[in-house]
Amino acid sequence: MYLQSVKKTIQQRPALEASALSITDPVLRRIFASRGVRSDDELDRALTRLPSPWLLSGMQAMVDHLVAALNAQKAITVVADFDADGATACALAIKGLTLLGAQRLNFIVPNRFEYGYGLTPEIVELTKLQQAQVIITVDNGISSLDGVQAANAAGIQVLVTDHHLPGDTLPAADAIVNPNLPGDKFPSRNIAGVGVMFYVLMALRIRLRERHWFEKHGITEPNLAQLLDYVALGTVADVVTLDRVNRILVHQGLSRIRAGRCQPGIRALAQVAGRSLAQLASADLGFAIAPRLNAAGRMDDMALGIRCLLTDDDALASDMAVQLDALNQDRKTVEGQMRTQALALLADMRALDEKHLSAGVCLYDADWHQGVIGILAARIKDRLHRPVIAFAPADNGDIKGSARSIPGVHIRDVLADIAARYPKLLSKFGGHAMAAGLSLKLHDYPPFALAFAEAVAARLDQADLDQKVWSDGQLTENEMTLDFADSVQNAATWGQGFPEPVFDGVFDVIQCRIVGRQHLKFVLRLPFSALLIDAIAFFADQPENWLGCRKIVCAYRLDANEFRNQRNLQLQLHYVERWE
């Protein structure tokens, strides 16, 4: 989404053969083959293609405890993470368990500034105030050893649903469902926290059906597919790999959103983001709706976001969506200030000169906002094409870090390497391949920064640090149409690990102007063609430098611009060079 001045190389994706694909369009065939698709079955996004929930280890115990809780109508508190995955998983758990007959439900989402991440002993104390008899964690819990122990001591059952990588020791919970547990036979290690909770609900419904629960209690057996909009939003927002299972879940959720059959909160968030439900794509979930939901957890309290997702009142959902949008505007302001400061730090470190750039980069400022360091790390990572950790002050002389990585560097494994080599350096850490969180003492920051650079370098081949833009090839004038753009968009569910097609080409620049201070609006033309094509580049570095440019080579995605109820083809430029 960001056009930057860093030099990159446009490189064609390897052309692979997929003889079992029946797709005849040569461009789509090439796209799917380069992403490892070998047969039509791999593109089937029907719910019937989802693997069985019973393949998840721990599911039998999880369902047994939930059935017992429903039979006794025990008080259940859902403890959520404070990001979009945690918020959607929490809303899904509350709505789903309600549909299945639970009557005593509450939720707690830790305020990141007061309690930090996960089920801690302090959060257990809050569940006691709700008179909880059962705690269900969503998108957290696998590393909550002390919190689970505190709950056990208080006589509260703990059921952990999570997708983060486990440590050497598992919490002493009554049941754990996590596809990343050692020996787990579930075919996807990539489902998000909200996906794990959806699978728990599916298994619970099966067991309740077998026991004639719905007939005995006069409850209409629910169609859980009505909750897949939560799953789609949380899965895309958490930037997990869209393997086959996740592509099915996201596609099914998106289909319901586009048909207008979604939660009022999601509809309201799309409206304040200026997105049409009928044309919503997975990228809109990630870049328009999720940031507004995440803003609650970053700037204030994610409870607002969860309440927005849970409400069935359209007017109330709209009011809360407006509040979330305002928080997101605040987040953008803070982020912009922090990004400017981060670039100044990098300049002082001479890190913008690639000869002095470490394999892994750490940044810290005493004035940075804890809730925004994750976005900052992602922005700097995109600019440097290096794993980056951004730190902000915490309490008691600690600093908290948020890490973002690049393909080829499993960031949690890097932190595990450091913890093994320097046992006293890290206070705690957790996460997955592309993102992680950690804490350490401020006085340990300098040695940690050195250890991080060394640990990343040890895991990374230098070739991985070359900045490449992978292209699916060039398009002809006949393929520069809105119909073809729609066919590409609808052909699959695109996202992390299954990237939306990017094309490249050389264009004459007919017009270039600055819009919104940071964006560039182009009118382009293929050489020797009369066809004029609109294009836009968001957040350009020094946009004034592009004015007067006559010819460019660029990498772009096919997009549609909707204005006054008219949809037209628009290229979304992701990398541009002057063509001399």
Name which of 196, 202, 192 is nearest 233 in CA terms. Answer: 192
Average pLDDT over residues 282-308: 94
Domain that holds residue 198: 52-325
Q: Is residue 562 predicted with pLDDT exceeding 90?
A: no
Pair 370, 394: CB distance under 8 Å:
yes
How many domains does one find in the chain?
3
Distance between CA 254 and CA 285 in Å, rounded? 9
Distance between CA 4 and CA 542 in Å, rounded? 9
Please indicate, yes or no, whether residues 137 and 151 belong to a single structural domain of this protein: yes
- Among 231-235, 497-501, 545-549, the range with the most confident prediction by mean pLDDT is 231-235
Please indicate, yes or no, whether residues 278 and 301 belong to a single structural domain of this protein: yes
What percent of the chain is modeled with pLDDT above 90? 78
Assess if residue 4 is contained within a domain. no
Please indicate, yes or no, whether residues 282 and 158 belong to a single structural domain of this protein: yes
Please indicate, yes or no, whether residues 138 and 251 belong to a single structural domain of this protein: yes
Name which of 318, 269, 271 is nearest 291 in CA terms. Answer: 269
* Least confident among 294-303, 338-347, 355-364: 355-364
**What pLDDT is stored for residue 2 in this prediction?**
44
Assess if residue 331 is contained within a domain. no
Please indicate, yes or no, whether residues 141 and 266 belong to a single structural domain of this protein: yes
State which amino acid sits at residue 20: A
* Least confident among 5-14, 428-437, 442-451, 549-558: 5-14
Q: Is residue 161 predicted with pLDDT exceeding 90?
A: yes
Strands (E), 303-427: 361-364, 388-393, 398-404
Please indicate, yes or no, whether residues 534 and 442 belong to a single structural domain of this protein: no
Please indicate, yes or no, whether residues 198 and 222 belong to a single structural domain of this protein: yes
Please indicate, yes or no, whether residues 447 and 479 belong to a single structural domain of this protein: no
**What pLDDT is stored for residue 76 in this prediction?**
98
Those residues whose C-beta lies under 8 Å from the C-beta of residue 358, and which sit 6 or more positions away, are 351, 386, 453, 456, 457
Strands (E), 486-550: 503-515, 519-525, 532-537
Categorize the per-residue pLDDT at 362 as very low, low, confident or very high, splitting at 50, 70 and 90. very high
Please indicate, yes or no, whether residues 60 and 106 belong to a single structural domain of this protein: yes
Q: What is the pTM of this model?
A: 0.91
State which amino acid sits at residue 142: I
Average pLDDT over residues 489-500: 92
Span 508-537, pLDDT tens digits: 999 999 998 889 999 999 998 999 999 999
Average pLDDT over residues 30-37: 92
Please indicate, yes or no, whether residues 292 and 149 belong to a single structural domain of this protein: yes
Average pLDDT over residues 229-245: 95
* Least confident among 79-93, 142-156, 232-246, 557-571: 557-571
Assess if residue 336 is contained within a domain. no
Average pLDDT over residues 424-447: 91
Those residues whose C-beta lies under 8 Å from the C-beta of residue 394, and which sit 6 or more positions away, are 370, 400, 439
Out of 431, 465, 499, pick the residue that ends a domain. 465
Categorize the per-residue pLDDT at 89 as very low, low, confident or very high, splitting at 50, 70 and 90. very high
Q: The CATH number of the domain where 315 resides is what?
A: 3.90.1640.30
Q: The CATH number of the domain where 374 resides is what?
A: 3.10.310.30
Please indicate, yes or no, whether residues 457 and 473 belong to a single structural domain of this protein: no
Name which of 101, 74, 184, 83 is nearest 138 in CA terms. Answer: 83
Output 311 or 467, whichever has higher pLDDT.
311
State which amino acid sits at residue 29: R
Categorize the per-residue pLDDT at 1 as very low, low, confident or very high, splitting at 50, 70 and 90. very low
Please indicate, yes or no, whether residues 72 and 187 belong to a single structural domain of this protein: yes
Out of 325, 360, 391, pick the residue that ends a domain. 325
Assess if residue 229 is contained within a domain. yes
Q: Is residue 66 predicted with pLDDT exceeding 90?
A: yes
Output 289 or 23, whichever has higher pLDDT.
289
Out of 435, 465, 495, pick the residue that ends a domain. 465
Q: Average pLDDT over the chain, rounded to whole?
A: 92
Q: Is residue 461 predicted with pLDDT exceeding 80?
A: no
